[in-house]
Structure 1
């Protein structure tokens, strides 16, 4: 069995004296582990950094075996983020959530494409914090926990959507919220129109509270440890500090 693909390096750990086991979020094969011979050595250390984009060739005698990877670098990101602590923390949250939430060897091409674009934007695009919030929203949708932000659950209106019901995950308009507004979660407009460049710092903060609520309520109970990776909390704290 063998295949070639491109992916984002999610994690690496030492295996024996000279090798490493890496997990890669690949375009066509999902979250997939394999052994890199010599992966614990100095030559491979700059390549095997979480968040790096790599080209991999996987081979094994049987498909159910862990197999071995041959790795070639495409683009490194971690070193470029060392001066932006918030962006580096966001990178840790992306890799941590993917490692914790995605089933092994299940393809998620749309999420992969979005993850690759986000990783490339971290610390570079001015609106990367808003893009990160949109990525969390897409993660929820990919795993079957998506929010319905298309219309008001109370009135059916498609405009002036201002809240989200914490019970249903459906949008509610300002008029539909009425006297129950204080029980609803604020909905920043950029989560509906997908325009992160329009998001003010307060919008990003509200978006992260919104996605965080549903990550905790819907995703966390399904995880092995029934809790979100600590990296997610560190990333949110760093983003909020960055925004002042």
Structure 2
């Protein structure tokens, strides 16, 4: 097995006295793990940071063997880890991607979308510039894993008009008229998730309530549920930042 590709660093786990097992998302080959010799060294610690872009080379004698991975830094986002809100966003997005995606399965749309969110965070560390994009990334991840929400038509009437809610059970959209009397049982659907545009803060938090519901129910289950703690920290910091 031999693979050379650019990749986004997702997770780093120290291994032994000197090495590290690194998981990174490539554009065409999905999440790839590898053992980095000397991964705990002063030279490589700044390179092996979540959200950094590396040029990786994975080599293994068999498909069952953990590949040896050599890395070269292409672009560093390490400075963002010193800013509380951007750092929390990087932690959540990389942890979510690492926990949710199976290894060696291609997800080019997710790679492109994650790159876009990380670029947005880097360009404008204040959450106002990227919070809506993060919610859309979570929505795309659900869809790519087979848990996509049907937001195009009302699940009751079949109409695409005046969609305003999401069923927390089915993930289907519900029109305002069909929701009468049941509003408190449904999740408000912000318009930007369907139509695009820049959301305001109530819309951002409404969108995150929707994606968070289905991530917790369908994706981050069992041991992976621990990953949601990073999301809770991020949302708490976002709320404090806009209070």
TM over 0.5: yes
Contact 1:152 1:173 in 2 (8 A): yes
Q: Which residue of 1 aligns with 2:223?
A: 224
Aligned residues: 240
Residue matched to 2:240: 241
Matches within 5 A, 1:101-140: 101-125=100-124, 126-140=128-142
Cα RMSD after superposing both structures: 1.6
State the alpha-carbon separation in 2 of the partners of residues 117 and 34 from structure 1: 25
Q: CA deviation at 1:226?
A: 4.8
Contact 1:81/1:123, CA 8 A, preserved across alignment: no
Does the 8 Å contact 1:96/1:232 carry over to 2? no
On the 8 A contact 2:216/2:225 being kept in 1, the answer is no
Q: Which residue of 2 aligns with 1:40?
A: 40
2:10 and 2:97 in contact (8 A); partners too: yes
8 Å contact from structure 1 (residues 136, 211) kept in 2: yes
- Structure-2 residue corresponding to 1:54: 54
Q: After TM superposition, which residue ranges in structure 1, 4 or more long, deviate above 6 angstroms?
A: none
Instruction: State the Cα distance separating 1:214 from its structure 2 match.
Output: 1.3
Give TM-score, length-normalised by structure 2: 0.92
Q: Which moved more, 1:136-145 or 1:14-23?
A: 14-23
What is the Cα deviation at residue 19 of structure 1? 2.1
Q: Secondary structure at the match of 1:7?
A: strand
- The gaps in structure 1 that reach 5 residues or longer are none
Match of 1:25 in 2: 25
Residue 165 of structure 2 is matched in structure 1 by: 163
Q: Which runs of 5+ in 2 are unaligned?
A: none
Question: Normalising by the residue count of structure 1, what TM-score does the alignment of the two structures yield?
Answer: 0.92
Instruction: Output the CA distance in 1 between the equivalents of 2:227 and 2:168.
Output: 18
Q: Is the 8 A contact 1:216 1:227 kept in 2?
A: no
